[in-house]
Structure 1
């Protein structure tokens, strides 16, 4: 705005115009004074106009500066908004890329999971198909085996019935014969099996000749024993060849059984120790097969005892689980009628006049237990109550421990099992030396022999 147009300036100008100065006097002094006043007045007006112009310029500059500042502020705000928008776009682009990557990863994971699920379904389908096929085959096999087993059971039953009838007839005939005359003299076992020596000591156990009342008591005692069952397939897997009698070698055990019975009967002996010089010769194999063969003798009650108390294994061979501790029976802690088990009905036609004293607990002091008077007393009580005709002791290897020497007072003779390719002549001589001259070696059984053809003795 122009200073000349301001109200203040207009008032002064109006005042000066409305009251013009008085007419100058005629004197020169007055004229000069009037001229001075006029000049002063003009200077005042000039100053006022200069001040008004300066104020106008100041205001214009201030307005221009304010305009410039407003423009700069707007520019700064625009640049700030532009920078913020750029940062937002960069952030949005980064977030979009991350979202795209996550989505791609999730898609890949879903595809992989779908592929694995599809493969699992296909594998499960294949397994189910294979299982169904196997089950069908197993069902067919079981049906075939069931029919075969039923047929075999039918034939076996017919055979057992016939054998039972024959056995009853033989038993009746044998009882009559035994009552009518004493047993005929027989040849000893050592005539069949070569031995290094044969001593003739006095019998350690007197032969039992039971009266009719004693026979009734003994039969009652045997019938009261708990029974055990055996599995034909398990016996076959453990090489109990006298069970199924399919292996031609079973005939050798039958011959051994017969000659052993002849020797025991001739000398009035009953207790036989079965041992070997070293391990892996087959003493337990021999004891189990010989016992099963003896069980088929109708007039012979047999007791097989596992006295290899350091490494008991006879119960594994026969397939009997948890038979208990034979050591506790020898100590008198459990009665024999609880620990002994009689052969029950079985699929191998084994006689039921055989009992077993099995063991599943190793003894740390086996030798000391065999020398304990309680062991001898327990065996004496078993003899009196059950009157076994043959007692077989499965003992540890003779050269490994002193168990065989410790048990010498408990048995009448020794059956030595020799391992082909394992046992040396010096080991056999050492066993004989440890047993002493007073202990008869009833015979030696050569096991694991090479170059033999047992099948030529089949008939």
Structure 2
């Protein structure tokens, strides 16, 4: 082998050294085992998972923060709107109050102007009264008589019984019923013209038909519109009005006249019926004989009760069925309580002297409405019953 120069040998050795060094490094043994690598990988994965969890937590926190921000903004907007509404309401109230004050100011100005005009129109000299004005009386309370009419008891009318008892105004089948209608109308006119209310019905002697006349008049008057009628059976020595109307629960009219029972508790009226008898008829029946009838009629309690009936019921007509005038002094005792007299005479029984004697006993102070001729035969249809 040809010997090479020294510097070339040195250069070659350096190249070999450079080439051989990586080989030696690659050939060095690995210090880490497989278990260590797996542990490192697991640790890395745990770190990555932890990082992901932290990132998710951060995102959730960011979302909650954004939600709180939105809620705060919404609450702020709601508060702003509420404040704006309150401000608008206060402004409306302020404007309304301002308008009211201006209107009141205008009214005050007008009143002041009117007061100034009145003061200018009044005389400067004050008015001197001779005496202080009297206080106005307090008006009395208005009394409604309908309450009393509604309070009385009612009884049923039996048309057949009334017909059997000769109450011809009930069924109106007998042509003579028109005579009672004429009597009713003339009597009402006479009472109205003279301001009378109380009419005594009597006869000179018994069996002349005075109770028959009173019952027929009551039925006829009940059909007169706006006419309130009170009929009292004051023939207390021989009461019979309840027999005509078929009423058994009569009570004693003497108890009413003494003031033991009130008029509205004793009086009775017609119940709704088929004969068109009105509801404004109040009848005071009597079922007990009164031995001291004249004394009771003269007692002050009788006057008080009759006045109370007028006050409570405001009747237009008060009919008193009295006993025969020539048999006792009951009619004379009743004289201070009546306004007018109606005498019932029986055809063929009553004499002219009886009628004159009846008028004489009652005196000139009691007006005679007329004489009703009952039980008369062959009377022309154009004749009146009195």
Query: Which consecutive residues of structure 2, in runs of 5 or more, have no partner in the other structure?
Result: 1-139
Alignment of 1:269 with 2:196, yes or no, is yes
- The 3 A distance-change label for structure 1 pair 248 and 378 is same
C-alpha displacement at 1:344, in angstroms? 1.1
What is aligned with 1:375? 302
| Aligned structure 1 segments of 4 or more residues deviating by more than 2 angstroms | 211-214, 453-457
Alignment of 1:218 with 2:145, yes or no, is yes
Alignment of 1:279 with 2:202, yes or no, is no
C-alpha displacement at 1:449, in angstroms? 0.8
Which of 234, 254, 264 lines up with 2:181 in the alignment?
254
Find the residue that maps to 2:369 and give its secondary structure: strand
Q: 1:10-29, aligned counterparts within 5 Å? A: none
What is aligned with 1:312? 239
C-alpha displacement at 1:346, in angstroms? 1.3
Find the residue that maps to 1:393 and give its secondary structure: strand
Q: 1:249·1:455 contact (CA, 8 Å) conserved in 2?
A: no
Which of 264, 269, 272 lines up with 1:345 in the alignment?
272
C-alpha displacement at 1:225, in angstroms? 1.2
Which of 381, 398, 418 lines up with 2:345 in the alignment?
418
What is aligned with 1:439? 366
TM-score, with length taken from structure 1: 0.52
Whole-Å separation in 1 of the counterparts to 2:237 and 2:190: 30
- The 3 A distance-change label for structure 1 pair 212 and 415 is farther
Whole-Å separation in 2 of the counterparts to 1:445 and 1:341: 27
Q: 1:342·1:353 contact (CA, 8 Å) conserved in 2?
A: yes
Structure 1 vs Structure 2 CA RMSD: 1.6
Query: Which consecutive residues of structure 1, in runs of 5 or more, have no partner in the other structure?
Result: 1-210
Whole-Å separation in 2 of the counterparts to 1:288 and 1:403: 20
What is aligned with 1:362? 289
What is aligned with 1:386? 313
What is aligned with 2:156? 229
Alignment of 1:404 with 2:337, yes or no, is no
Alignment of 1:295 with 2:228, yes or no, is no
Find the residue that maps to 2:250 and give its secondary structure: coil
Whole-Å separation in 2 of the counterparts to 1:255 and 1:455: 11
- The 3 A distance-change label for structure 1 pair 351 and 212 is farther
Find the residue that maps to 2:145 and give its secondary structure: helix
C-alpha displacement at 1:355, in angstroms? 0.7
Query: Deviations along 1:218-240, whole A, 9 cap, x unmatched?
Result: 11211111111111110000000
Whole-Å separation in 1 of the counterparts to 2:327 and 2:364: 20
Q: 1:415·1:441 contact (CA, 8 Å) conserved in 2?
A: yes
Aligned residues: 245
Find the residue that maps to 1:418 and give its secondary structure: strand
Q: 1:226·1:340 contact (CA, 8 Å) conserved in 2?
A: yes
C-alpha displacement at 1:295, in angstroms? 0.5
Whole-Å separation in 1 of the counterparts to 2:201 and 2:172: 22
C-alpha displacement at 1:453, in angstroms? 4.2
Q: Which has the higher helix share?
A: 1
- The 3 A distance-change label for structure 1 pair 243 and 400 is same
What is aligned with 2:256? 329
Whole-Å separation in 2 of the counterparts to 1:448 and 1:372: 35
Query: Deviations along 1:103-129, whole A, 9 cap, x unmatched?
Result: xxxxxxxxxxxxxxxxxxxxxxxxxxx
Whole-Å separation in 1 of the counterparts to 2:382 and 2:321: 28
Whole-Å separation in 2 of the counterparts to 1:435 and 1:312: 22
Find the residue that maps to 1:446 and give its secondary structure: strand
Whole-Å separation in 2 of the counterparts to 1:225 and 1:252: 30
What is aligned with 2:128? none
